[in-house]
Amino acid sequence: MVDQILSEFLLSKEDLEEVMRRIRREMERGLRVETHDEASVKMLPTYVRSTPEGSEVGDFLALDLGGTNFRVMLVKVGEDEERGWKVETKHHMYSIPEDAMTGTAEMLFDYIASCISDFLDKHNLKHKKLPLGFTFSFPVRHEDLDKGILLNWTKGFKASGAEGNNVVGLLRDAIKRRGDFEMDVVAMVNDTVATMISCYYEDRSCEVGMIVGTGCNACYMEEMRKVELVEGEEGRMCVNTEWGAFGDNGELEDFRLEYDRVIDETSLNPGHQLYEKLIGGKYMGELVRLVLLKLVNENLLFNGDASDLLKTRGAFETRFVSQIESDTGDRKQIYNILSSLGILPSELDCDIVRLVCESVSTRAAHMCGAGLAGVINLMRERRCQEELKITVGVDGSVYKLHPQ
């Protein structure tokens, strides 16, 4: 019976090829002017036209806002005889309070400016006007490298007054309001783009960036002639796919399970980011919790008895999934996590919980792989090649912390 319930998470090779075909179709629609508006995969031009040459040496400040944590980083790029250049970084993490995430845009950006100020104090940099690069991991319609309009918040952000506005402008205004330091905001990119660029410093064949963290997204280098939203035919431009919204036009209906529907209905953005909700770390723990409850209700787990904590939305954290799958076989990790949720499990319970975690995370990995295959096949065909040697730069908490 347990196997029967978990078998719904299994995707066949044919299923995955179908997902790949559908996401590919939506990507093509997102690139074309006449279908862009209704395409679920928006394929946003980033105005990043070429990969770095390595002449970019000096001190830079980098900001990274993409989830519940916000990172400020000092990046020193110097020349190096062997590898061409060397990169040194110092960074500090700040967690974003709930009221800044869901209050007003002014509150959020004032908080960000105060974090920058704190970082500059710590590193004695207040007197310097540094070039600043801003990694902003939300759907943005770029008008230039340093000008981008926020289309919509995702990942639990809801700050009012930001959607429809130029994000770099909001940051510049907040810095001006403080008045205790100056910054030259030179570029805003998506986290997928930042990942691709930083990987390119290590490996020149990196032309795809992917994030599997709180959310899930990818970017790649597209032929300019195919980027219809931007004038010009020559060379390539990096496109931010925003593939997390794949499925928003119903393309994933035959793959979504009852648990996925509950996740969506109880989220801040019902009906949106449906592909991301199958993969992202924001949802993975909750998916596992819903499956565990189903097994309890069917009398297949914990003697049919769920603790109050297990019945609480959000109580089963995504990090538990990684920890449970990292268990060495003595079930100690699993036992400790379940105990913390008010459950005293048997050995069989522990094994079933592990199976549930593996089912949910494996489906997420396969779904993500199908999307990536769609991107790479598109690139290969554009370049009229039988085989394409390409490197994918990957980052994100789920990718880094998950044992598989």
Active site residues: 155, 191
Residue 149 C-beta-side C-alpha neighbours within 13 Å: 5
Distance (Å, whole) CA 31 – CA 105: 30
Contact criterion met (CB below 8 Å) for 11 and 255: yes
Q: Are strands 69-80 and 84-95 parallel, antiparallel or unpaired?
A: antiparallel
Instruction: Please tell me whether residue 115 adopts helix, strand or coil conformation.
Output: helix
Tokens 């031009």 identify what position?
45
Residue 53 Cα distances to 72, 200, 307, 321, angstroms: 24, 10, 57, 40
Amino acid found at 295: L
Residues in Cβ contact with 240 at an 8 Å cutoff, skipping those fewer than 6 apart: 43, 44, 45, 46, 139, 140, 190, 192, 193, 217, 219
CB 275, CB 247: distance < 8 Å: yes
CB-CB neighbours of 234 under 10 Å: 8
Count of helices and strands (H, E) across the chain:
14, 12
Looking at the DSSP bridge assignments, the partners of residue 240 are 44, 219
Distance of alpha carbon 285 from the chain centroid: 16
Strand-pair partners of 144: 147
The sign one gets for the Cα dihedral 110, 112, 113, 115 is positive
As a whole number of angstroms, the distance between CA 339 and CA 324 comes to 13
Q: Are 397 and 213 in contact (CB under 8 A)?
A: yes
Helix (H, G, I), strand (E, B) or coil at 167: helix
State which H helix or E strand residue 381 sits in. helix 347-382
Task: Pull the structure tokens for residue 43.
Answer: 């394929």
Q: Is 129 in a helix, a strand, or coil? A: coil
